[in-house]
Amino acid sequence: MQTTSRTSRKYLATPIFGVLMGVVYLVALSVAGSPVYGVLAFGVMVAFSAALLLARRRSETVRGLLDHRDERISAIDLRATAITALAMIAVVLVAFVVQIARGQSGWPYSMLGFVGGVSYVAAVIYLRIRG
Amino acid sequence: MRNDVRERRVAKGLSQADLAHRLDVSRQTINSIETDRYTPSLPLAIAIARFFGTCVEEIFHADHE
């Protein structure tokens, strides 16, 4: 059973990650000479994080997705992530095939496919060993 | 998997939200278990059985039984 303080930290992880990514976008776009777009991107990420925290108060599903206390919502999260990964794999494969059919190298889709494949095999090995 | 969670909860005069709070899960999960749309993990099944003061096989029934 988790303590309240541990749970509070856990549900803040995704919103904090969102804000941190906003800072990264701000810095990256500022370095690229587009500080206005950087501020916009930062604002979008802050708004997204704030929306998550507000939705958490009204929705059991959002609450469960953020704090992972409910096993059924965690299972839904896992399956939704797997479906998302399948969609990404399909996009990468189609884009790779279109590129090589045009006589191009397939970059960066070949690398994305390679990283995906290696990650899957590594995850299977790790999870099998862990039991 | 069929179960007697709803009957036992109602007999105790608890709402789905009350039971969810006691078991530290969402109300949706209690509803899904009661309507046989979700089979709980073994730890949650044991927690449910302990809450009602009985054993898992008295509450959850395999379909072939």
Q: What is the CATH number of the domain that holds B46?
A: 1.10.260.40
- For testing contact with chain B, the best of A65, A71, A74, A77 (most B CBs within 10 A): A71
Given the cut 0.95, state whether the ipTM is greater than it. Answer: no
Asked if the C-beta of B25 comes within 8 angstroms of chain A's C-beta atoms, the answer is yes
Judge whether residue A1 has pLDDT over 70: no
Judge whether residue A131 has pLDDT over 80: no
Contact (Cβ atoms closer than 8 angstroms) between residue B34 and residue B15: no
Contact (Cβ atoms closer than 8 angstroms) between residue B49 and residue B56: yes
Closest-approach residue (CA) in chain A for B43: A71
Judge whether residue A5 has pLDDT over 70: no
Domain ranges for chain A, please list them.
1-69, 71-131
Contact (Cβ atoms closer than 8 angstroms) between residue A70 and residue B26: yes
**Number of domains forming the structure of chain B:** 1
Q: What percent of chain B has pLDDT over 90?
A: 92
Dump pLDDT digits (tens) for A30-45: 999 999 999 999 999 9
Instruction: Provide the pLDDT for residue A10.
Output: 86
pLDDT-derived band of residue A83, with 50, 70 and 90 as boundaries? Answer: very high
Evaluate the omega torsion of the peptide bond into residue A108 and state whether it is cis, within 30 degrees of 0: yes
State the residue range of the domain holding B44: 2-61
Contact (Cβ atoms closer than 8 angstroms) between residue B4 and residue B59: yes
Asked if the C-beta of B41 comes within 8 angstroms of chain A's C-beta atoms, the answer is yes
Q: Which residues pair with B61 in a beta bridge?
A: B2
The pTM of this model reads: 0.82
